[in-house]
């Protein structure tokens, strides 16, 4: 019996020896680089010293609902994106609060870029320049909540404007520096690398195309600069992904190309207008690919009845695989491309329908039209509404599949706040009508113009009813 066991073991060894693996080996003797002499220190000081001069501290005074034990340093709203809203326990109260953040000087005559959430609903915005105790009252030029960017301006001249880089030249592994005012301690520089590019579905903004970095970003860094090793601005620091409250090496910055585009529109027009197709879209998943010839693009899950897409012939189930002859990678890519066009722009789409290729021209609509229609209803005064999306469901910790209209913000002292509406609530019904999107809400409100209405709201799984006249 022992001999048989040894024989089998030998056969097994021979069988294993029959296959091998060839490793792709790096050079066994890499060159270790150090300063060329004992009197030299490897440093990026000369690269970032000019960029540091272009970073300002922002103190925004605003009325907020805060917890009794809240630390003002943690009032930075990007923190809240990953913790959800208050679900009970400490009762919030309203008081004047100063939110700390950072900004970047873009022009010598005082234009400064920052995050929208740093200055949103601020009653007063105070700017402090580096190495100076002098304070400037800033004027709000324009905000864009969907990209989380805002432009402010101070009355000053000959300011040190930062140099701008190019998003197209960025590569994963590039050394970068995050500059800002973390925890209110003053100008700080942290170093890391670009961890990833073109990050979306993070659940922070409506339009996401983030640079991911492991450079330390903390509360107060919002609106600060992400610069390359030359000191050129490549992004605006926006958020961190954290469960503990501290930096875990997963930070996100809005890329410079988007920053330049949004800044130009805000300075010239005071707002950002985007084309609107009026469709719900999804990625071409592995299951979907079996019924389409094209293997990339965005699938239309629904088409709004009065939207631009329906008007020009788009249908549920269509696959948009190219826009203006440029291939569409996925749903996020289509969303960004549509948003890059202004309302009333005529665009050409390549569409697959029932495995046949079609060319469809569409004149884009505008989300502003729907927003203005809703703002005409006095009932909704004080509410900032938006469509639900996968990103919003994640951001507000809402269950997948929930349908309705999201309340993103409630203006302090408004009628809506007094009735009881809160940020993060989802309007799911008005009277006997189910509400699935903004267009349906608009239609229902028109039916009940001059009477009290019952609003049904989903608040983290609990259904509440409010009545407004």
Residue 160, judged by CB atoms within 10 A of its CB (0-12, 13-18, 19+), counts as middle
The distance in angstroms from the start CA to the end CA of the chain is 92
pLDDT (0 to 100) of residue 106? 93
Residues above pLDDT 90, as percent of the chain: 26
- pLDDT tens-digit profile of 125-141? 999 998 888 899 999 99
Largest Cα–Cα distance of the chain, in whole Å? 97
CB 157 within 8 A of CB 110: yes
CB contact at 8 A, 171 and 148: no
Quick one: tokens of 444?
A: 């229902």
Q: Is the pLDDT confidence value at 85 over 50?
A: no
> Which tens digit of pLDDT belongs to each residue from 6-15?
544 444 444 5
The ranges of the chain annotated as CATH 2.30.42.10 are 275-365, 376-468
Return the CATH fold of 376-468.
Answer: Pdz3 Domain (2.30.42)
Q: What is the pLDDT of residues 322-350, one digit of tens each?
A: 999 899 988 888 888 888 888 889 999 99
For the record, the structure tokens of 162 come out as 């930062």
Over range 317-326, report the average pLDDT: 91
- For residue 90, pLDDT over 80 is answered with no
Mean predicted lDDT score pLDDT of the chain: 80
Q: Could you report the per-residue pLDDT of 409-443, keeping only the tens digit for each? A: 887 777 888 888 888 899 998 988 888 888 788 87
**Cα–Cα distance measured from residue 102 to residue 155, given in angstroms and rounded to the nearest whole number:** 18
Give the 3-state secondary structure of residue 193. strand
SS3 of residue 233 by DSSP = strand
169 catalytic residue (yes or no): no
Using CA atoms, how far apart are residues 188 and 211, in angstroms rounded to an integer? 20
- Give the alpha-carbon dihedral of 150, 156, 157, 159, to 10 degrees: -60
Q: From the candidates 222, 238, 332, 350, give the one annotated as an active-site residue.
A: 222
Confidence label for 96 from pLDDT (cuts 50, 70 and 90): low
CATH of domain 44-270: 2.40.10.120
- Tell whether the torsion through CA atoms of 220, 226, 229 and 231 is positive or negative: negative
Tell me how far apart the alpha carbons of residues 161 and 199 are, in angstroms, rounded to a whole number: 28
Catalytic residue among 54, 59, 76, 117: 117
287 catalytically annotated: no
- Rounded CA separation 322/333 (Å): 10
Phi, psi torsion values for 356, nearest 5 degrees: -115, 140
What letter does residue 423 receive in the DSSP assignment?
A: T
Cβ(327)–Cβ(319) below 8 Å: no
Write down the pLDDT at residue 82: 47
Point out the catalytic residue in the list 59, 102, 147, 148: 148
Stretch(es) of the chain classified as CATH 2.40.10.120: 44-270
pLDDT of residue 248: 67
Token pair 């088409």 is at which residue? 303
d(CA 173, CA 432): 55
In whole angstroms, give the CA distance from residue 383 to residue 420.
Answer: 11
Q: How far is CA 157 from the centre of its chain?
A: 32
How far apart, in whole angstroms, are the C-alpha atoms of residue 231 and residue 189? 11
Structure tokens at 359: 């060319």
Superfamily of domain 275-365: PDZ domain (2.30.42.10)
Classify residue 25 as exposed, middle or buried by CB count within 10 Å of its CB (0-12, 13-18, 19+).
Answer: exposed
Question: Quick one: pLDDT at residue 236?
Answer: 93
148: annotated active-site residue: yes
> Given a cut of 90, is residue 93 above it in pLDDT?
no
378: its two tokens: 């006095």
Answer whether 319's CB lies under 8 Å from 297's CB: yes
Pairing mode, strands 175-180 and 225-228: antiparallel
Digit-coded pLDDT (tens) for 202-244: 666 677 788 999 888 887 888 999 999 999 999 999 877 665 5
> What is the pLDDT at residue 283?
84
Residue 83 reports pLDDT greater than 50: no
Task: Give the residue ranges of DSSP H helices in 314-366.
Answer: 331-339
Q: Quick one: DSSP state of residue 78? A: H
Cα-based distances in Å from 339 to 275, 281, 314, 320: 5, 14, 18, 15
Q: Which residues pair with 211 in a beta bridge?
A: 253
């Amino acid at each position: 019996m022992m001999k048989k066991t040894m024989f089998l073991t030998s056969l097994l060894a021979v069988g294993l020896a029959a296959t091998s693996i060839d490793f792709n080996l790096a050079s066994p003797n890499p060159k270790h680089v150090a300063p060329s002499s004992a009197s030299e220190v490897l440093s990026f000081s000369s690269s970032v010293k000019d960029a540091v001069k272009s970073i300002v501290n922002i103190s925004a005074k605003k009325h907020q609902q805060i917890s009794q034990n809240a630390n003002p340093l943690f009032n930075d709203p990007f923190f809240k994106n990953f913790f959800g809203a208050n679900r009970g326990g400490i009762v919030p109260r309203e008081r004047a609060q100063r939110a700390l953040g950072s900004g970047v000087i873009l022009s010598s005559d005082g234009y400064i870029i920052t995050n929208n959430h740093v200055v949103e609903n601020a009653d007063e915005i105070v700017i402090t320049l580096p190495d100076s105790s002098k304070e400037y009252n800033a004027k709000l030029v324009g905000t864009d909540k969907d990209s989380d960017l805002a432009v402010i301006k101070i009355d000053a001249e000959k300011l040190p404007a930062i140099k701008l880089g190019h998003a197209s030249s960025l590569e994963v592994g590039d050394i970068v520096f995050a500059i800002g005012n973390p925890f209110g301690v003053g100008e700080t520089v942290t170093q890391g690398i670009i961890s990833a590019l073109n990050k979306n579905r993070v659940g922070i903004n409506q339009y996401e195309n983030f640079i991911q970095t492991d450079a330390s970003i903390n509360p107060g860094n919002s609106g600060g600069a992400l610069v390359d090793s030359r000191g050129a601005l490549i992004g605006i620091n926006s958020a961190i992904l954290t469960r503990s409250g501290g930096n875990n090496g997963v930070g996100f910055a809005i890329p410079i190309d988007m920053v330049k585009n949004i800044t130009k529109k805000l300075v010239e027009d005071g707002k950002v207008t985007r084309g609107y197709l009026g469709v719900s879209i999804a990625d071409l998943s592995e299951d979907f690919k079996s019924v389409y010839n094209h293997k990339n693009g965005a699938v239309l899950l629904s088409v709004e009845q009065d939207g631009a897409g329906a008007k020009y012939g788009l249908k549920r189930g269509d696959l948009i695989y190219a826009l203006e002859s440029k291939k569409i990678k996925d749903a996020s890519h289509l969303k960004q491309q549509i948003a890059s066009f202004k309302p009333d722009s005529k665009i050409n789409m390549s569409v697959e329908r029932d495995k046949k290729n079609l060319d469809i021209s569409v004149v884009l609509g505008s989300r502003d039209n729907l927003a203005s229609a809703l703002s005409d209803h006095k009932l909704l005064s004080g509410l900032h509404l938006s469509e639900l999306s996968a990103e919003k469901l994640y951001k507000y910790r809402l269950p997948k599949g929930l349908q309705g209209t999201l309340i993103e913000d409630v203006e302090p002292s408004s009628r809506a706040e007094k009735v009881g509406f809160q940020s993060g609530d989802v309007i799911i019904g008005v009277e006997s009508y189910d509400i699935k999107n903004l267009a349906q809400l608009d239609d229902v409100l028109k039916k009940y113009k001059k009477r009290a209405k019952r609003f049904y709201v989903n608040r983290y799984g609990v259904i509440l009813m409010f009545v407004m006249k």
